[in-house]
Structure 1
Amino acid sequence: MTSSMTVSLADEATQILRRLVGNDAASFHEGQFEAVQALVEGGRRALVVQRTGWGKSAVYFVASLLLRARGAGPTLIVSPLLALMRDQVAAAERAGVRAAAINSANQLEWEEVQARLAEGSVDVLLVSPERLNNPRFRDDQLPELVRTSGLLVIDEAHCISDWGHDFRPDYRRIRDLIGQLPSSVPVLATTATANSRVVHDIEEQLGASSSAGGEVLTIRGPLARQSLRLGVLQLPSPRMRLGWLLTHLQDLPGSGIIYSLTVSAAEDTARLLREAGHEVLAYTGRTDPADREAAEAALKENRVKALVATSALGMGFDKPDLGFVVHLGAPSSPVAYYQQVGRAGRGTPNADVLLLPGTEDRDIWEYFATASMPSEGTATAVLRELQAPGTVLSTAALETLVNLKRSPLELLLKVLSVDGAVRKVNGGWEGTGQPWAYDRDRYERIARARVAEQNAMLDYENTGACRMEFLAKALDDPSAAPCGRCDNCAGPWYANTVAESATASAEAALQRAGVELEPRSMWPTGMARLGVEVKGKIAAAEANESGRALARLTDLGWGGRLRTLFAPGAPDAPVDQQTLQACVRVLAEWGWAQRPVAVVSVPSRSRPQLVASLAEGLAGIGRMPYLGALAAPHGGPRNGPGGNSAYRLADVWEQFEVPAGGAEWFAEHPGPVLLIDDLADSRWTLTSAGRALRRAGAQAVLPFVLALKA
């Protein structure tokens, strides 16, 4: 920094930084001003890979104001999470940056934001990557933003890469967006979680159409977090892990986050801790957006000890004094783990990080990994339905034509859209006519990489070396070195005792049985295309009542036993007495308006002994007649479990009948019927079987199953 221009820029930038952080003595960290200078003076493409809490947002806020002062247009920030946007807008305002956001949570503000953009009173606009494919935004607003933007920022840039731990298909659109920018517009990508392969991938995408001839400035700092004290405590069961939390939660410093791998586990754990007197809240993908925001505020203001969260609470949540992160079950890669534990200790000298791995972790990793991979057959089927010129189909309409559930179908459409094979338009999706081929090699490479990451996470759990060094090496950090603080470097810092009373409470919670099984209330749209003439609301005279399941397959308690029972290749056998008695407890606590007058079961091909013995056992204990299994005169369902709602309903439609004499029996014995099955997934089997019973004269149908899939 020898020239007068550089000194002037440094002074100007420092003044903005001090306003941003509210500290008149603040100065740039190593690498921060270099990034700002590259953007403002050089118009460069830059990638900043720095640990969480380093101050990556300061780089783009300072650069934005400097560029605006030089006549540049507003900065466009692609930001992945609503929580991240809220924090970024608040941080921008503190620095005098006029910031606005366009996302799914503030639709009522869009027109106001557009007006502010038109009048030039927005310095920074934050959008989600998914917004880039919204037809209105993409066609009406994005071209003008591309023409006028002074800086493009890609936050959490590891999402660009197939190899990133949190890959999102819509992030792949950013390469096209970069290509549309004037070559003089600087671009900044930031992340804390990128290994060398991800860095190289991002650099290639940033280099498109750069005025610097494709050269990308990468500023990479040490990723080890000196404030974090890492540890792993191996406990043999969910009961012991929950018991440890009950015993030691209050010993952990300040307030923090307890991560779990599934929604059910988060909700069950939060309930158990609250019942024991701990101030905690659950935070998952099922949490209402307003409740999420309130929970974030409660944690930031230390009004709760912890949020018990899934990965829904992740990138961008900023609480500098977060005192601890505990994991009940391990994420599927060291990189993802580093990203989550990086929430702690950003503004404090010490924070505790503890992993309590579970034996069920691998099963959960496998489930999520396979659920996210599109198949060639379904991709080809989607393209076939959209190939005719002028064809526009909504996602709901495509469900009736392609046997794929809504979430994976939406993911597949995003992938096809990014690849240019389909296009989102008003009213749904249309084909583009561009040739497309299934990239089998790519998906196989990604699948192999995922397995390698899972194995690396197991290595982290079992290593005798420094844990922080292990995580830094997983991120290809050349400065990785022993931390001197983790349990392997300095000895365990956590107690491994579990109070007997806590173990008993955890055991009682895990043995708690009973989950509500909500009935289907609406027929899937477009059923006529599949030869089933139903639509709209299910008639009250044909609908089931609210039912019950013993547990979800993802539950911490009974879920483990049920996962074993329903594992591929598990033999069919009569229900064991412990499981039967747990089912009896669920029925005893049901609180139905009228006691069932009979028991009927769904015919089962895969587990006939299990279903029949469960129905007979409940009927005998409850002193109710067992009328047997429903008949399936047409052979019953043909395709088995899985698939989307429309196809599942078509598969079971009018496949069940009440045996001869059933209608007369119901007429002579009015009252509800208890309908028994083994597993509920889509619930259309239960709906179709219940409809058959109602049409035969049953006054009401109360479904009961052993397991609820989700």
Structure 2
Amino acid sequence: MSNEELRAAADTVLARLVGAPGGDARLREDQWRAIEALVADKRRALVVQRTGWGKSAVYFVATALLRERGAGPTVIVSPLLALMRNQVEAAARAGIRARTINSSNTEEWDTVQEEVAAGEVDVLLVSPERLNNPDFRDQVLPRLAAATGLLVVDEAHCISDWGHDFRPDYRRLRTMLADLPQGVPVLATTATANARVTADVAEQLGTGGSTDALVLRGPLDRESLSLGVLQLPDAAHRMAWLAEHLGELPGSGIIYTLTVAAAEEVTAFLRQCGHTVASYTGKTENADRQQAEEDLLANRVKALVATSALGMGFDKPDLGFVVHLGSPSSPIAYYQQVGRAGRGVEHAEVLLLPGKEDQAIWQYFASIAFPPEEQVRRTLDVLGQAGRPLSLPALEPLVELRRSRLETMLKVLDVDGAVQRVKGGWVSTGAPWAYDTERYAWVAKQREAEQQAMRDYVTTTGCRMEFLRRQLDDEEAAPCGRCDNCAEPRFSDAVSSSALDTARGELDRAGVEVEPRKMWPTGLPAVGVDLKGRIPAGEQAATGRALGRLSDIGWGNRLRPMLGPQAPDGPVPDDVAQAVVGVLADWAKGPGGWASGGSDALPRPVGVVTMASHRRPQLIRSLGARIAEVGRLPLLGSLAYAPGADASQASRSNSAQRLKALDGALVVPPALAEALAGADGPVLLVDDSTDTGWTLAVAARMLRRAGAQGVLPLVLAVQG
């Protein structure tokens, strides 16, 4: 077939894909160049093009043409479920049979693999996590690599740890690339890669040193997007602005927040104000996520209030706006998220409402980056000495890392060849491994530069689109003529006093439930703590209360400066103490509260106990005293640290290590024990904050054993 005939066939497939059979749909020149390289020349290509350019059209058209020529199925490695669902539907329009293997359809895996083996599947979408699942890696992946007609790596910036969304599972692609038969084409695509990330991705994919590699990088301007920034005084003003102006934004869209707590908070407030919105976060169940996506696609909601969980791959061409309540930490991440809007409409609004809390949230996420060398070496030593595979629950108690961070670290070590995931857990390979201090330091420096760039984006008086394009090393960057700096701002920062009062009332609403721990973590005997199984009911804390969450934009903004690592100790501020008293009053009157009158009501507290603290003893003691005074309760005393005890490490390690650090660290002083023995009812246990809940669990167990008839935790903040 000549190139002219191939081009005509490609345009025919494109017409089916876009729903215009027999129409005049025609590929862009660079789309055709990529397809020609893949189908006619069997080359490897890296395509860096803006969101909405049509990267998926390249691999679907190439798939149809390759399948007509007898090639095996296309394998697309894709990071998000939203992307998979969109693409299965898009493929069907072009007559392409697509199936997926991901965490949400485990019951279909066997059927899908049988269909692939029978040649009934044209496209298999695989989540990157599958690539290192032992069964999939050892049984399915080799057969798939041998039969693949085209390998597609979507959102390929995830391969690079220079990128904003590095995912170590993606590095497993190197194994699949090495196993591909000669002449199998490979396509990598992304919309968010600067020059450094582009070069790194090309190297990771093996395209960088290949003389026949094709790199297609286009201009990143989005002519439909009008960018703007509104710098409002505080969270209440931002919430009020959203409530008053959401209806003025075109069509339906996305409101991004930086944390799950903020997403839930904003969703509840906007619903209260009469807006039809839904929440979409990493904690949203798969079925609820899919319903939310469908509601947005069908314009049944004005907006999804989402974290970055709704990001890459969500495809709604007529999305009319993207609003960020808080700045992402990277211009590249920001550009990617705003790129969801305006793909199929002439005009879309993009607004950033930065917050004072943004920096603290960036610092938190930076703190969970790749661990220090000593922790990595400790993990390798434990695996090397185990003599058998160790699962994450078995390994976690032996190293000072939380499970999610431990798993990410192991994936990086797996890619580096130092460990391997096998049936039953993880093993050490014994291969030499070096901690790349220089690279990790450079990555950290890169993150700091990206954060500064976002601060500069907020304050720049130049063109905002040009600013973002230059951050992505777009050589064609030029003033857009559309943003609030190039043209007049399209939105006022004014909010009515009534809307502001409503927002303040919502943000000032205090009270978060604190769920008690009911099971000891696995593996405690391995670290010398003789506890396991269910915590006896007579040793548990009751469900407690907190003033707020550190990650929310209401009380979180007030509490973060007071509870930060460098915050000085001192008496509890009056407004905070009054708010805690309000939480206590609501607790008493609410369902199950001691003043509710219900049959299941808790007994009224008979005293106050404060937690021991090295860092904030004044704060906790003064808070306990204020509660005792207002509630007309006796201040029974405080837990204390045993001589020489140091539980400071408990605040930064995993559950088992926290409990090991707490084991024997706290004591019930004799005076407190005597007071508890004479107390005819539960006590309020007052602390500054709780993270995992283990300190409260240990303290409650000690107080119950000392005679307390119940323990009601009351803290200022829930961390996270």
Shift of 1:635: 4.2
Map of 1:471-482 to 2, 5 A cutoff? Answer: 471-482=468-479
Structure 1 counterpart of 2:499, from 497, 502, 505: 502
Query: Retained in 2: the 8 A contact 1:544–1:691?
Result: yes
Q: Give CA-to-partner distance per residue, 1:552-609, whole Å, 9 cap, x none.
A: 1111111112111112322111111111000000001113222101111111111111
Structure 2 counterpart of 1:599, from 600, 605, 608: 608
For 1:672 and 1:703, the matched residues in 2 are separated by 10
Structure 1 counterpart of 2:694, from 684, 688, 695: 684
Q: Give CA-to-partner distance per residue, 1:76-134, whole Å, 9 cap, x none.
A: 11001111111111111111111111111101001101110111001111111111100
Name the counterpart of 1:428: 425
For 2:510 and 2:478, the matched residues in 1 are separated by 48
For 1:202 and 1:346, the matched residues in 2 are separated by 25
Q: 1:655 to 1:388 in 2, by over 3 A?
A: closer
Name the counterpart of 1:626: 635
Structure 1 counterpart of 2:297, from 292, 297, 300: 300
Query: Retained in 2: the 8 A contact 1:207–1:214?
Result: no
For 1:176 and 1:215, the matched residues in 2 are separated by 21
- The farther-off stretch of 182-191 and 560-569 is 560-569
SS at match of 1:565: helix
Map of 1:38-77 to 2, 5 A cutoff? Answer: 38-77=37-76
SS at match of 1:47: strand
Q: Give CA-to-partner distance per residue, 1:339-387, whole Å, 9 cap, x none.
A: 0000000110010000111122112112112212221111101100111
Name the counterpart of 1:487: 484
For 1:238 and 1:140, the matched residues in 2 are separated by 52
Map of 1:204-243 to 2, 5 A cutoff? Answer: 204-207=203-206, 213-243=210-240
Unaligned runs of 5+ in 2: 594-601
Query: Retained in 2: the 8 A contact 1:330–1:358?
Result: yes
Letter in 2 for 1:156: E
TM-score, length basis structure 1: 0.97
Letter in 1 for 2:54: G
Name the counterpart of 1:437: 434
Name the counterpart of 1:455: 452
Letter in 1 for 2:717: A
SS at match of 1:707: strand
1:609 aligns with 2:618: yes
Identity of aligned residues (%): 60
Query: Retained in 1: the 8 A contact 2:638–2:672?
Result: no
1:201 aligns with 2:211: no
SS at match of 1:603: coil
Letter in 2 for 1:425: V
Name the counterpart of 1:534: 531
Query: Retained in 2: the 8 A contact 1:460–1:470?
Result: yes
Shift of 1:664: 5.2
Query: Retained in 2: the 8 A contact 1:183–1:209?
Result: no
1:179 aligns with 2:178: yes
Shift of 1:626: 0.7
1:708 aligns with 2:707: no
Query: Retained in 1: the 8 A contact 2:76–2:126?
Result: yes
Shift of 1:665: 4.0
Letter in 1 for 2:126: V
For 2:335 and 2:534, the matched residues in 1 are separated by 47
Q: Give CA-to-partner distance per residue, 1:623-643, whole Å, 9 cap, x none.
A: 111101023334444334211
Unaligned runs of 5+ in 1: none
Query: Retained in 2: the 8 A contact 1:51–1:192?
Result: yes
Structure 2 counterpart of 1:547, from 526, 544, 549: 544
For 1:612 and 1:515, the matched residues in 2 are separated by 21
Name the counterpart of 1:347: 344
Q: Give CA-to-partner distance per residue, 1:426-485, whole Å, 9 cap, x none.
A: 111001111101000110010111111111111111111111111111111122111111
Shift of 1:215: 3.1
Letter in 1 for 2:580: C
1:643 aligns with 2:650: no
Q: Give CA-to-partner distance per residue, 1:201-252, whole Å, 9 cap, x none.
A: 1222333699xx4432011221100000110111111111111111111111
For 1:335 and 1:657, the matched residues in 2 are separated by 51
For 1:241 and 1:453, the matched residues in 2 are separated by 24
For 2:67 and 2:164, the matched residues in 1 are separated by 34
For 1:204 and 1:626, the matched residues in 2 are separated by 65
SS at match of 1:609: helix
Letter in 2 for 1:193: T
Q: Give CA-to-partner distance per residue, 1:381-431, whole Å, 9 cap, x none.
A: 110011147421011111110011111111111111111111111111001
Name the counterpart of 1:412: 409
SS at match of 1:487: coil
Map of 1:295-374 to 2, 5 A cutoff? Answer: 295-374=292-371
Letter in 2 for 1:455: Q
Letter in 2 for 1:522: M
Name the counterpart of 1:29: 28
Q: Give CA-to-partner distance per residue, 1:233-292, whole Å, 9 cap, x none.
A: 111111111111111111111111111111111111111111111111111111112111
Structure 2 counterpart of 1:398, from 385, 389, 395: 395
For 1:246 and 1:505, the matched residues in 2 are separated by 10
- The farther-off stretch of 647-656 and 425-434 is 647-656
Query: Retained in 2: the 8 A contact 1:178–1:209?
Result: no
- The farther-off stretch of 666-675 and 104-113 is 666-675
For 2:425 and 2:510, the matched residues in 1 are separated by 42
Q: 1:691 to 1:389 in 2, by over 3 A?
A: closer
Query: Retained in 2: the 8 A contact 1:100–1:124?
Result: yes
Shift of 1:178: 1.4
Name the counterpart of 2:167: 168
Letter in 2 for 1:547: G
Name the counterpart of 2:596: none
TM-score, length basis structure 2: 0.96
Q: Give CA-to-partner distance per residue, 1:472-521, whole Å, 9 cap, x none.
A: 11111122111111111111011221111111011111111111111011
SS at match of 1:101: strand
Letter in 1 for 2:698: S
Structure 2 counterpart of 1:291, from 288, 291, 314: 288
Q: Give CA-to-partner distance per residue, 1:642-690, whole Å, 9 cap, x none.
A: 1100011111124333332555544543211100111111211111110
For 1:272 and 1:531, the matched residues in 2 are separated by 47
Query: Retained in 2: the 8 A contact 1:175–1:208?
Result: no
Query: Retained in 2: the 8 A contact 1:206–1:216?
Result: no
Name the counterpart of 2:253: 256
Name the counterpart of 2:598: none
Shift of 1:162: 1.4
1:147 aligns with 2:156: no
SS at match of 1:548: strand
For 1:356 and 1:160, the matched residues in 2 are separated by 30
For 2:389 and 2:447, the matched residues in 1 are separated by 35
SS at match of 1:493: coil
For 2:509 and 2:373, the matched residues in 1 are separated by 42
Shift of 1:175: 2.4
Over the residues paired in the alignment, what is the CA RMSD in angstroms? Answer: 1.4
SS at match of 1:258: strand
Query: Retained in 2: the 8 A contact 1:522–1:535?
Result: yes
SS at match of 1:65: helix
- The farther-off stretch of 370-379 and 33-42 is 370-379
Query: Retained in 2: the 8 A contact 1:266–1:310?
Result: yes
For 2:356 and 2:14, the matched residues in 1 are separated by 47
Query: Retained in 2: the 8 A contact 1:648–1:682?
Result: no
Letter in 1 for 2:624: A
Runs (4 or more) in structure 1 with deviation over 6 Å come to none
